Chain A
Amino acid sequence: MKNYCIAVLLVLMAGFCFGQAPKSSLNVPTTDVYVGYITTSPDYGGGFFSYRFNGFEGAFSKGLTPHIALIASGTFSFGTNYSVKQFTGTVGGKYSFTTGRFRPYGTAQIGYAHQSSDGMYAGDHHPPLAPGTTDIEDGLTYRIGEAPTCR
């Protein structure tokens, strides 16, 4: 009987020990969604900030490791002069780390861009084309950037 009780006690203790083992990293947050305001400043020869688009950005990222994630971003912005509208969709990688209250990151993305305007873009991007002329441009784009975020 004594040996039986010792065996049961050992099994119970082993069970408690395994029950307290840490759970897998599946509980670590790895998915990130973002929505925000974006302002875009092109350099059309007058320097940055001489013209500006305003709009919205959305992004989704999924962590592969604690520091590296895949990211997909989309933006829509517009300018009131010349009715400029532009869409971009990019995908790439993101590296982030934690320091104090902040979580800085850097990202490099590549993708597609579409612009339309009413008389804005000549071959050198200087206005105007003939009034009422719609110009549409599609092409490859990339984004290289960084940001601090609160943890």
Chain B
Amino acid sequence: MTPKIYWRLLQWDIQPMPWGRHTPDYVNFSSGIGYRF
């Protein structure tokens, strides 16, 4: 593999926020640019 820029298509994750106080469920979606080297 060689160093390259890539596109993170669609990141998905679940996250309570903040844990230990109140715990509603959160869903995060993210998309962006990455560089691997």
Contacts and interface: CB of A to CB of B under 8 A. Distances in A.
Interface string A16-29: 00000000000011
A150 B30 CA distance: 15
Contacts of B14: 143-145
Interface residues of A, number: 47
Contact of B34 (A34, A143, A145): A34
Given A41-B27, A143-B15, A145-B14, A36 B21 contact: no
- Give the interface SS of chain B, mostly helix, strand, loop or mixed: strand
Nearest to B10: A147
- Give the interface SS of chain A, mostly helix, strand, loop or mixed: strand
Interface string B1-37: 1111011111111111111111011111111111111
Interface of B: 1-4, 6-22, 24-37
Interface of A: 28-29, 31-44, 48, 57, 75, 86, 88, 102-103, 107, 112-115, 121, 123-125, 137-151
